[in-house]
Amino acid sequence: MDTAPVDTFDNTLVLLTVEEAARRLRIGRTTCFALIRTGELESIDIGRLRRVPADAPAEYLARRRAAKRVA
């Protein structure tokens, strides 16, 4: 049985589920899907699965922070 806290993550993962990406960003699953749908958060399809590259949440945050500094 896995007893790791929900907010810990494996740094060796290359792809995340949408739920894992949402947890990293501390947002809801629906909001995460909305970011994916608008293209703000990168994702790929593998068969019928939707996966988020492990570096995509950090890149999304970096873009948001840069945009805030410019504004």
Separation between Cα atoms, residue 45 and residue 71, nearest integer Å = 33
**What percentage of the chain has pLDDT greater than the value 70?**
87
Q: Tell me which of 2-6, 24-28, 45-49 is least confident.
A: 2-6
Q: Residue 8 — pLDDT band, cuts 50, 70, 90? A: low
Angle, alpha carbons 22-47-16 (nearest 5°): 25
Kindly state the average pLDDT of the residues 30-55: 98
Q: What is the pLDDT of residue 2?
A: 52
User: Is the pLDDT score of 35 beyond 60?
Assistant: yes
Q: What's residue 24's pLDDT?
A: 97
